[in-house]
């Protein structure tokens, strides 16, 4: 962890049931931290989207609709937000589950699963995953000065 973030940043933690209804609370936390870090609208949107996609994936596929909890820890420092998402669902490394759009297949015929994870991973500046003590821990970072890898509008 960047020392500047530790000393100058603020942190927050939220534990919610793994349900669709809890996704709004997670988004509110992420946006609050993004505001504190001074991220512009575009960067705030990207970190919200990334966290939302991974949390939605945990609700729908990780726990498969069963009971579970999601813990979100966030830290904001000058110009950067780092969020970790933890769950105790079966081991799943999002960076191995992404499915970039296949240019050879018409969009309406494509498998759409995995696209949310692709969106999440292309929205952040840094991504890390560890499996520790039976928990999945994904860590996502967006920086105010980060680079949006998506090509600009033609």
Interacting residues toward another protein by CB under 8 A: 20-21, 23-24, 41-42, 45-46, 48-49, 52-53, 56, 59-60, 101, 103, 106-108, 110, 112, 115-116, 118-119, 122, 148, 150-151, 153
* CA angle, residues 120, 124, 125, in degrees to nearest 5: 155
Closest separation in Å from C-beta 7 to another protein: 31
Closest separation in Å from C-beta 55 to another protein: 10
**Pick 4 or 150: Cβ nearer another protein:** 150
Q: Which residues pair with 140 in a beta bridge?
A: 83, 127
**Pick 96 or 106: Cβ nearer another protein:** 106
Q: Which long-range contacts (CB under 8 A, 24 or more apart) does 64-69 make?
A: 67/17, 67/18, 68/17, 68/18, 69/15, 69/16, 69/17, 69/18
**Pick 119 or 144: Cβ nearer another protein:** 119
Distance from C-alpha of 115 to C-alpha of 121, rounded to nearest angstrom: 10
**Pick 5 or 124: Cβ nearer another protein:** 124
CB 34 within 8 A of CB 44: yes
Closest separation in Å from C-beta 151 to another protein: 7
Closest separation in Å from C-beta 3 to another protein: 31
Residue that is written with structure tokens 């993004």 in the block: 34
């Amino acid at each position: 962890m960047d020392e500047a973030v530790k000393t100058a940043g603020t942190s927050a933690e939220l534990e919610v049931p793994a349900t669709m209804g809890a996704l709004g609370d997670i988004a509110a936390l992420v946006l609050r931290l993004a505001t504190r870090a001074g991220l512009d609208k575009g960067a705030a949107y990207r970190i919200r989207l990334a966290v939302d996609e991974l949390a939605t994936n945990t609700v729908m596929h990780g726990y498969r609709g069963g009971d579970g909890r999601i813990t979100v820890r966030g830290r904001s420092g000058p110009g950067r937000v780092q969020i970790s998402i933890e769950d105790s669902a079966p081991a799943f490394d999002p960076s191995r589950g992404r499915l970039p759009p296949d240019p050879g297949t018409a969009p309406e015929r494509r498998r759409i699963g995995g696209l949310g994870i692709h969106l999440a991973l292309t929205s952040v500046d840094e991504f890390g995953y560890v499996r520790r003590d039976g928990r999945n821990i994904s860590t996502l970072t967006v920086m105010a000065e980060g680079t949006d890898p998506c090509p600009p509008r033609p």
